[in-house]
Amino acid sequence: MNDIESRISSSFFAQGLMKTLGATLMSVSEGEVRISLPFSAALSQQQGFAHAGVITSIVDNACGYAALTKAPEGHDVVTAEFKVNFLRPAIGTSFLAVGKVVNAGRLLTVCTGEVFAIGDAQSAPKLIAVMQATIATVSSKA
């Protein structure tokens, strides 16, 4: 692991929520981060599908960490805001969130995210949600 991978990996493991949800950091590359989440009933909304808040949680992290790959040393990122469109019910055995940097500014980085539902081996992953997010770059306190 290089520096930024190890830093994002440490941050990911420090998140209580990612453990609670059962999410895994899949890959980190410059400007792009992938997070995977197996479905379980503990993550459901009222119809038994994955809750919009769960889908949002993993794609928010994917976008935030994608932004972090572009942040200067000694800086951290915080989500200023995001918008998510839900395209179809979150039905799958697992979900893959992909966050990508669209533009990295000095103060604000804009990312887009996609979430795919993965079912059985026969069916292709389905795009179920798209995010557009604004991530603020802040000086690390330490």
Q: Which of 26, 126, 108, 39 is nearest to 71 (CA)?
A: 108
Q: Should residue 93 be labelled a site residue for a copy of itself when binding is judged by CB under 8 A?
A: no
Q: Should residue 108 be labelled a site residue for a copy of itself when binding is judged by CB under 8 A?
A: yes
User: Which tokens belong to 47?
Assistant: 């119809």
Exposed, middle or buried by CB within 10 Å (0-12, 13-18, 19+), for 81? exposed
User: Which tokens belong to 55?
Assistant: 């889908």
State the pairing for strand pair 126-139/94-104: unpaired
| Shortest distance, position 27 Cβ to a copy of itself, whole Å | 18
State the pairing for strand pair 126-139/108-118: antiparallel
Q: Should residue 94 be labelled a site residue for a copy of itself when binding is judged by CB under 8 A?
A: no
Q: What φ, ψ does residue 60 adopt, rounded to 5°?
A: -60, -45
Query: Which stretch, 29-37, 55-63, 116-124, contacts a copy of itself (CB under 8 A)?
Result: 55-63
Q: Should residue 95 be labelled a site residue for a copy of itself when binding is judged by CB under 8 A?
A: no
Q: Which of 19, 30, 75, 93 binds a copy of itself (CB under 8 A)?
A: 19
Query: Which stretch, 25-33, 115-123, 127-135, contacts a copy of itself (CB under 8 A)?
Result: 127-135
Chain contacts with a copy of itself (rule: CB under 8 A) = 11-12, 14-17, 19-20, 40-47, 51-54, 56-58, 60-61, 78-89, 102-103, 105, 107-108, 110, 112, 127, 130, 132, 134, 136
